[in-house]
Amino acid sequence: MLPSRRQLCLGLTAATTSPLLGGCFPFDEGPDPVGPIAPLKSQVPYPVGTCAMSGQLDDPDWARLARTHFNQITPEWEMKMEYILTSRASHGDGYRFDASDRIVDWAARHGMGLHATTLIWYSQGEEAFRGLSPADYRQQFDTYIATVAGRYAGRVRGWDVVNEAVAENGEGLRQHHWAQSLGEIDHMVRAFEQAKQADPNAVLFINDYNLENNPKKGATFLNLVERLLKAGAPIGGIGTQSHLDIEIPEGQITRFIGQAAQFGLPLHVSELDASRRRGDGTPDVRTVSYRIRQQIERVKELSFAFHSLPAEQRYALTLWGVRDTDSWLRRGRYDDGKDSPLAFDANGHPTAIARALSDGWRQDTSSATS
């Protein structure tokens, strides 16, 4: 089983080459070379973002690429509850903002927008909230959101308020400690209400993954959005992480983007990447050229579908990393050192994904509302 993104971001697995995967990727030809490209952020009229860990800010090569090609930053891990909140948080003294403050300040210093993630996530917070009375549980839930969102009020464009609420297979919603203590829908409504109070001007998102890859999950997610809006949750935007499976059928991405757009809310492609390797670690008999073609077509489809939205619905398109070697997909013992899921390689050269983004943006959108 592959390690989770949580484990990888925490550094619980070492980045090593697995001999088990050696020779599993046949090379009939190398990738087509991608020449110099215009800065990604200069090619479109909406923000093009990337994610950052505070330690990357000290890497001059990373910083140069980030400043050149991106104009919005999302903290990859260090604005999430597991970093900010310690087990002492229930006593009011467990908030940790050193890394998130640094990323926010760096983005501001370089004239970049900031998208914040995430306030409530099913996988975090259980230990810190364990043992609280129902009244204290509600109070600490509200206090956390008020403290964190309030700290950055006026400095962020938007917040992922609720993250990954839909079950992995798309069959209903996840069951977890927030839902058990505050209600399956009520805890989400409450989170949005508290975030709105803390930062009235931020765009408040509900965010999830595999929405394009799994139509059932996409439909369940959009049904959840509708339920929350009917319940009065002040949702301001829809986030789709877009960790793309390059084997999904043509048109599936476009259909989901069109369905999500029907709410009239801003959309955020919030964590875009597209791995060329299978996620289960099994031998891959597909040729490299085939995988590159598939990758280009899926990323191109996504960039065109997003670019074709009405201007007011294009919040941002964010890649989940700058260079391939920065990607969560290139951490851990399953990495063979060959995957190229992002727009720049280890040396900062554009990849096939950079070309696909540009090609998608350059397609004729005259039939789309703009």
Give 74's strand partners: 51
Sign of the Cα pseudo-torsion (226, 167, 320, 351, in order) = negative
d(CA 330, CA 18) in angstroms, rounded, equals 12
Q: Name the catalytic one among 78, 212, 271, 301.
A: 271
Q: Which residues contact 301 (CB under 8 A, 6 or more apart)?
A: 250, 251, 253, 254, 360
User: 82 catalytic, yes or no?
Assistant: no
SS3 113: strand
Closest CA to 269 of 286, 253, 288, 290: 253
Cα torsion through 256, 257, 258, 259, rounded to 10: 50
User: 301 catalytic, yes or no?
Assistant: no
Given the DSSP bridges, would you call strands 158-163 and 72-75 parallel, antiparallel or unpaired?
Answer: unpaired
H helices within 171-245, ranges in order?
177-182, 186-198, 215-230
d(CA 84, CA 95) in angstroms, rounded, equals 5
d(CA 95, CA 123) in angstroms, rounded, equals 18
Contact (Cβ atoms closer than 8 angstroms) between residue 296 and residue 355: yes
Closest CA to 204 of 315, 67, 77: 315
Q: Name the catalytic one among 76, 164, 212, 301.
A: 164
Closest CA to 49 of 273, 311, 360: 273
Cα torsion through 256, 262, 263, 264, rounded to 10: 110
Q: Which positions are annotated as active-site residues?
A: 164, 271
